[in-house]
Amino acid sequence: MAQRKQLWHGRFDTGPAAELVAFTESLSYDSRLVFDDIHCSRAHVRGLGRGGILSDEEVGAVLAALDSVAEEFAEDRFEFEASDEDIHTAIERRVTEIAGEPGTKLHTGRSRNDQVATAFRWFVLRELRVVAEAALELATTLAERADDAGVGEGGVYLPGYTHLQHAQPVMLAHHLMAHAWAVLRDVDRIWDTRRRMDVSPLGAGALAGSSLPLDPDGTATDIGFGERFENSLDATSDRDFVAESLAVLAIIGVHLSRMGEEIVLWSTDEFGFIRLDDAYATGSSMLPQKKNPDIAELARGKAGRLIGNLAGLLATMKSLPLAYNRDLQEDKEPLFDSLDTVRLGLAALTGVYRTMSINADRMRAAADSPYASATDLAEFLVVKGMGFRDAHAVVGALVRESLDQGVPLIDLVEVNEHLGAEAAVLLQPGVAVTRRTTPGGAGPLPVAEQRKRLAERLAGESQRWRAVTAE
Ligand code: ARG
């Protein structure tokens, strides 16, 4: 069988070497852009019609051929040829086979450089929205689990840690909502990233635009972009929208890794704060008693890949001269990988949080060490008029004495000249957590208020994303 020709065969005597094809192809992964390319190509064809470059009949014929190609892909019966380098050339080749002569006009005034940049932007805009929705699910689940734990007086509390050492008791709801706020910032970052990316490069051509009467404003609107490019060199060669997406996804990955690490710790026998649902834990092939937190571990581990994808793309982009260089083809695989990893990770962790059971007794018992109330004792002295440094020293000395001599702290507090029985009450189980009253703080009063504010933020985010989904 005669070898099919590349779409750019005109000035070449021979066909491409097998090694060239093998090394430079992108079809094996960019097929994922098929419907985005077809969507953008439709707008391009209609633009060519408005410019009088294609007649109405030609526009009709090419649009019909694009529809057929979309159907072939949807029904999984599209046949690739060896000459198809990427999804864009495959679609154009097939459109020409179906539409004949008018099909040869599809690529008029267009280069793969603006074509790829356009289809890829359109793809990323949508996929980031999917990630935002998954992130909102996680934030919502965290808020619901905060409700289960109790957001007011009587709610579950546990030790708050700094340096992974007991610091002060905090409401469990407070702890869970800390993660929810971080995830909401991620969602907000996705919003900002999408806003900057919402620009159509179509019409920029290979690098400089065209002599033909193209309509980049019209095609931008037709596709659904907010605006068209301002500079054709920039439009075809910049991938900061990919780098920014990878950065946002890496930050989400880092947030997920922190939650993962915590779930790993909390589910150990030593902590015993939570128990994972069977459906969200794994067994060991050798040790029958094991129940492993693999989702949490991979949420932790996959952050490495997400960070690597960002670092890799930045290295590819670094020092590239204007305008398009084939290096830029390397933008897709890392982003596909990061999008999939984050979307699946968000869903998996949402499931873990939704189904895990909480051992409130273990949490409370761990938090009820009298030493966790040391700051309350110091603050008691401050209210009585002592300077904080002095108060800190008085309580510090008592703690040391208690530890050194094995005497319960409460006994020393009761007989201390500055403290006494009134202060000893602060060491009773469950008292310390109620004393954190600062707005945004960890006690039941501010936590109940925080839960309301979180509900408002969640509702606001959901609402603005619903508008995008409806587009
Ligand atoms: N598959 C390529 C990419 O994704 C297509 C661009 C090829 N352009 C070119 N001028 N050779 O970047």
Q: Is 86 in the pocket of ligand 1 (CB under 6 A)?
A: yes
Sequence-distant (6+) residues with CB within 8 A of 217 are 228
Structural class in CATH, domain 369-428: mainly alpha
329, 330, 335, 336, best to mutate for ligand 1 pocket (most atoms within 8 Å of CB): 329
Which residue, among 219, 164, 264, 200, has the nearest Cα to 47 in the 3D structure?
219
Candidates 245, 255, 267, 284; catalytic one: 284
91, 110, 116, 336, best to mutate for ligand 1 pocket (most atoms within 8 Å of CB): 116
Check if 237 is active-site: no
| Delimiting residues of CATH 1.10.40.30 domain(s) in the chain | 369-428
d(CA 116, ligand 1 centre) in Å:
7
Q: Is 89 in the pocket of ligand 1 (CB under 6 A)?
A: no
Q: Is 77 in the pocket of ligand 1 (CB under 6 A)?
A: no
Return the pLDDT at 285.
Answer: 85
| Delimiting residues of CATH 1.10.275.10 domain(s) in the chain | 17-108
Return the pLDDT at 289.
Answer: 84
112, 207, 232, best to mutate for ligand 1 pocket (most atoms within 8 Å of CB): 112
Architecture of the structural domain at 17-108: Orthogonal Bundle (1.10)
d(CA 62, ligand 1 centre) in Å:
22
CB 121 within 8 A of CB 328: no
Return the pLDDT at 109.
Answer: 98
d(CA 471, ligand 1 centre) in Å:
29
Q: Is 326 in the pocket of ligand 1 (CB under 6 A)?
A: yes
Q: Is 239 in the pocket of ligand 1 (CB under 6 A)?
A: no
- In this structure, the residue with its CA closest to atom 12 of ligand 1 is 329
Return the pLDDT at 4.
Answer: 62
- Packed helices 444-469 and 112-149: angle between N→C axes, nearest 10 degrees: 150
Return the pLDDT at 360.
Answer: 98
Q: Is 328 in the pocket of ligand 1 (CB under 6 A)?
A: yes
> Rounded to whole angstroms, how far apart are CA atoms 69 and 103?
12
- In this structure, the residue with its CA closest to atom 2 of ligand 1 is 329
| Delimiting residues of CATH 1.20.200.10 domain(s) in the chain | 113-148+163-366
Return the pLDDT at 337.
Answer: 98
Q: Is 193 in the pocket of ligand 1 (CB under 6 A)?
A: no
The CATH number of the structural domain formed by 113-148+163-366 is 1.20.200.10
- Tokens 């193209």 correspond to 214
Query: Could you give the count of Cα atoms lying within 13 Å of 152 in the half-sphere of its Cβ?
Result: 3
> Rounded to whole angstroms, how far apart are CA atoms 158 and 362?
8
Number of the ligand 1 atom closest to the C-alpha atom of 120: 4
> Rounded to whole angstroms, how far apart are CA atoms 426 and 418?
14
- In this structure, the residue with its CA closest to atom 5 of ligand 1 is 112
Q: Is 118 in the pocket of ligand 1 (CB under 6 A)?
A: no
Low-confidence ranges of the chain (pLDDT < 70): 1-4, 471
Q: In residues, how long is the chain?
A: 471
Return the pLDDT at 2.
Answer: 39
- Packed helices 444-469 and 172-197: angle between N→C axes, nearest 10 degrees: 30
- In this structure, the residue with its CA closest to atom 3 of ligand 1 is 329
Check if 284 is active-site: yes
- What does the pLDDT look like over 116-173, one tens digit per residue? 999 999 999 999 999 999 999 999 999 999 999 999 999 999 999 999 999 999 999 9
CA dihedral defined by 316, 318, 319, 320, rounded to 10 degrees?
40
Candidates 163, 211, 285, 319; catalytic one: 163
